[in-house]
Chains A and B, each alone.
Chain A
Amino acid sequence: MEHLLLLFVGAALVNNIVLSRFLGICPFMGVSKSTETAVGMSLSVAFVMTISAVVSFLIDKYILVPLSLEYLRTIVFILIIASLVQFVEMVIEKTLPELYSGLGIYLPLITTNCAVLGVALLNVQFKYSFIEMLIFSFGTAAGFGLALILFAGLRERIAYSSVPKYFQGMPIVFIMAGILSLAFMGFSGMVK
């Protein structure tokens, strides 16, 4: 049990997917302009990331490995994610129309979120068991949400401060991300 807890903390804080593994930077920079959109994006990513990790884990274990087709992983995983995103979009549209209108454009964008494919590939690389895989994927998704929401809060504040001329726009955003990443490095003593 303790092992699983550490795995969760490690995935969410110590090896934060955005700030230390550098996956999912595009949505991190793209939709962090306001906290509201950041929350919507984190929820939809958490949803798709966990489900796609489970599906790709099962397909890898019961179809690709027995047939020794491991080299097809990249193609198979990206197709799983793309079709899953499409499927999730249709289900949410039918069953929860208010959530659908809230998430809106973020759902299709998740296909090209490299964090989702990254988690599916990392699960295979680390040779996790099913339950470990589940905890790791969910922890990673939680870490993505945490980083995104924190960063959106920071960006809302920086909009009101005076930034040196040449640092206006993207440069200051990156430097802020660097400082946030520095803060997250403080967690690195917690888990080996």
Chain B
Amino acid sequence: MIKNIITNGLYSNNAIFKQMLGLCPTLAVTTSAVNALGMGLATTAVLTGSNLVISLIARYIPKNVRIPAYIVVIACFVTIIDQMMKANFYSLHKVLGIFIPLIVVNCIVLGRAEAFASKNNPLYSLIDGISVGIGFTIALFILGSFREIIGAGTFFNMPVMLSSYNPLLIAVMPPGAFLFLGFLFAGKQFIDSKMKGEK
């Protein structure tokens, strides 16, 4: 069961590549690998906390008001993370801007609360929160790395391309986010069909 939860969260049911949830932060903050990693970890923290709390209290919440109740729990964790990042990682907090408070309306978090945490025990929900969060972080990190390397010629702010390389600026601009994500999805479909062919 636990192994299933982990592989589901990381790959086979990956929030971005498979379910296409939480696309707004995916496109907006992946201009560099560092930003992508920061956003992914902040979301993971919120997801883990909200999954744990919701699985503990789900049975006491009347069915009709469950969505507002979940949103309040999620908003509390988002506020905690927001204040914590402001205190400890000020420059990252500034770059990510309103996308930190907007984790509240990230469909991944509410989706896991409704689909998993409200029906499973706290341990499973905790593991589910961590693995879905890490799966999301990996997807963000891949997109962020591609965009940073091609768009700025750097990786984690260190130059990785030849000095004659002329950065393709479009990759770090808004249209680049859509184009690169489109190519990543195409790549995933290619890999999936090759894997099916081998079986």
Contact = CB atoms under 8 A, between A and B. Distances in A.
Interface of A, helix, strand, loop or mixed by DSSP: helix
Contact of B105 (A113, A122, A185): A113
Contacts of A111: 67, 71, 105
A191 to B, nearest CB: 16
A172 B181 CA distance: 10
B98 interface: yes
Interface string A68-105: 00011111001100100000000000000000000000
Interface residues of A, number: 42
A112 B98 contact: no
A173 B178 CA distance: 9
Given A75-B79, A125-B98, A174 B28 contact: no
Contact of B173 (A24, A75, A185): A185
Interface of B, helix, strand, loop or mixed by DSSP: helix
Contacts of B60: none
* Contact-size category for B: 35 or more
Contacts of B27: 22, 25
Interface of B: 20-21, 23-25, 27-28, 67-68, 71-72, 75-76, 78-79, 82-83, 97-98, 101-102, 104-107, 110, 170, 173-179, 181-183, 185-187, 189-190, 193
Interface of A: 19-26, 29, 71-75, 78-79, 82, 111-114, 117-118, 121-122, 125, 166-175, 177-179, 181-182, 185
